[in-house]
Structure 1
Amino acid sequence: MSTVRKVGLVGWGAIGRVVGTALAEQQVPGAELTCIIDNRPLGDTAPAPQRTFDEALECCDLIVEAAGQGVVREWGERVLASGTDLLVASTGALTDDDLSKRLLATGPGRVYFTGGAVGGLDLLQAVRSLGPLDEVRLTTTKLPSTLEQPWMDEELLSKLRTATGPVEVMSGTARDIPVKFPKSTNVAASVALAVGDLDAVRVRVVADPGARHTRHVVEASGAHGAYRFDVAHLPDPGNPATSQVVPYAVLRSLAALAGRTGQIL
């Protein structure tokens, strides 16, 4: 493998634009933006050539997914089978057990995921080595408009649209919730991947019309201790379903994969 990671970026939206611009400006040592994959014409403003997926696999050794869970489902195995590594931002796709097993079994490319909008995952992974956690809870609070989904009935939509304070939209496990909210609850999947058990993580999704910030509260406890992480992010102005910090989490993961030293990984 070359010393410089040749990156193909999937998606030129709220996450992809930040990641792609930083790569094009050489802000990540050891990584260069080789091409962009998107199903919309990007014109002359994109900082790298637009390529098809198949073309990208010919010239890249790392694909960065920043376009949604569907990309991971449709292309993940083909990327890895080609010998290209895959960095997944839409971790909700990995709550599909069959898909996750197939990705882990496919190579020679390797699959990685980024923690996105939540912290403390490294500590949860460390605690997991001591023994199972007795309880893991995640409460995600967002603006009601970012949580509306095609499957919702009129009663639930009305509840969201007329809310004057926080209202619970849905509760379930980290296996269930990311399927229902594919663009809004990747954090649930990230926490579950760190804990190692999709069904052990209980998730509440709350709509709050007064939520200036997107909030994620993780609470975990077990025989070895108790842990709480509370993060509040400004939503991305172009896509309020995504927190502004997410592309920078992707860039941090990219920097680690590119071999930058002197950092806590």
Structure 2
Amino acid sequence: MSRLAVGLVGWGAIGRTVGTALAAGRVPGATLVRVVDNRPLGDALAAPQSSVEEALAHCDVLVEAAGAGFVREWGERVLCAGTDLLVASTGALTDDELAKRLLAAAPGRVHFTGGAVGGLDLLQAARSMGPLTEVLLTTTKLPATLEQPWMDEGLLTRLRTATAPVEVMTGTARDVPAHFPRSTNVAASVALAVGDLDSVRVRVVADQAATRTRHVIEAHGPFGSYRFEVNHLPDPGNPATSQVVPHAVLRGLAALAHSPGRIL
């Protein structure tokens, strides 16, 4: 079978790790052939830097590692061009209309990665037996990674001076990712597994003493109760991203590279 030609969109904390691993041959059956990034990146890239249009002409799959904005602007065009799209910024899928358009677009296929959270397969299985009656996600991060342009001075001061954990926001998996587009992809991933954005409650907590990013998922239904907790070291170059995320992307690429249904 031909090798999977990969285009990488974004050369940040996620993209550099994914691109370096691909260039080193750590994903058998997959090759990095293009890097898409609007910034001047120099000559140290693992593959030629190009526009999205040029990447579509050379790639079987584009890996989104640039944020939800790329999914909104380019997602449908990528899929309609016949190129698959692996989405890391699952928060983009909290937009129902966008999600419907992406799932309906063809001949390319859209794929998602759970990123920094596990247990999604069990939540999907539990959901298949009947609706879950309660799903709560509590995400705790360093205050600096949660600061947003919409915050008023009062909230920003609380975040910067608090000596104890501060609840920054509570809402549904539809609402919260829109307010924290780079910090709450886990909320979207859980909601996609559960199948209902509005049934997943999300608490975002800032903790100055947090040395790790913590996600706690609690779910209850007629057939059982479930609790998952993950504690990740943040990426030193971008503390809003957990170090494990690019490795989840690489795992997704490995699955695509060896999928018997892949047509090249």
Q: TM-score, normalised by structure 2?
A: 0.97
The equivalent residue for 1:12 is 11
Does structure 1 residue 178 correspond to structure 2 residue 177?
Answer: yes
Shift of 1:41: 1.1
Letter in 1 for 2:168: V
What are the equivalent positions in structure 2 for 1:106-255 lying under 5 Å apart? Answer: 106-255=105-254
Q: Deviation digits for residues 223-263 of structure 1, max 9, x if unmatched?
A: 011100000001000000000110001111111111179xx
The equivalent residue for 2:255 is 256
What are the equivalent positions in structure 2 for 1:20-35 lying under 5 Å apart? Answer: 20-35=19-34
The equivalent residue for 1:99 is 98
The CA distance in 2 between the partners of 1:90 and 1:9, in whole Å, is: 13
The equivalent residue for 2:48 is 49
Shift of 1:3: 2.6
Letter in 2 for 1:184: S
Letter in 2 for 1:86: L
The CA distance in 2 between the partners of 1:42 and 1:126, in whole Å, is: 43
The CA distance in 2 between the partners of 1:4 and 1:132, in whole Å, is: 41
The CA distance in 1 between the partners of 2:253 and 2:174, in whole Å, is: 27
The CA distance in 2 between the partners of 1:3 and 1:196, in whole Å, is: 35
The CA distance in 2 between the partners of 1:229 and 1:39, in whole Å, is: 38
The equivalent residue for 1:87 is 86
SS across alignment from 1:212? coil
The CA distance in 1 between the partners of 2:259 and 2:79, in whole Å, is: 23
Q: Deviation digits for residues 207-234 of structure 1, max 9, x if unmatched?
A: 0000000000000010011100000001
Letter in 2 for 1:15: I
The CA distance in 1 between the partners of 2:33 and 2:124, in whole Å, is: 33
Q: Deviation digits for residues 162-207 of structure 1, max 9, x if unmatched?
A: 1101010000000000110001000000000000000000000000
Letter in 2 for 1:90: S
Aligned residues: 260
Runs of 5+ unmatched residues, structure 1: none
The equivalent residue for 1:62 is 61
Report if the CA contact (8 A) 1:142-1:214 is conserved.
yes
Shift of 1:46: 0.5
Say which is worse superposed, 20-29 or 251-260, in terms of deviation.
251-260
Shift of 1:112: 0.6
Letter in 2 for 1:189: A
The CA distance in 2 between the partners of 1:115 and 1:41, in whole Å, is: 30
Shift of 1:42: 1.1
Report if the CA contact (8 A) 1:29-1:260 is conserved.
no
The CA distance in 1 between the partners of 2:96 and 2:26, in whole Å, is: 35
Q: Deviation digits for residues 11-58 of structure 1, max 9, x if unmatched?
A: 000000000000011100111001100010111100100010000000
The CA distance in 2 between the partners of 1:127 and 1:41, in whole Å, is: 47
The CA distance in 2 between the partners of 1:130 and 1:259, in whole Å, is: 30
Question: Where do 4+ consecutive residues of structure 1 move more than 6 Å?
Answer: none
Report if the CA contact (8 A) 1:30-1:260 is conserved.
no
Letter in 2 for 1:223: P
SS across alignment from 1:179? helix
The CA distance in 1 between the partners of 2:146 and 2:9, in whole Å, is: 24
Q: Deviation digits for residues 87-141 of structure 1, max 9, x if unmatched?
A: 0000000000000000011101000100000000111111111111000000000
Report if the CA contact (8 A) 1:219-1:229 is conserved.
yes
The CA distance in 2 between the partners of 1:25 and 1:187, in whole Å, is: 28
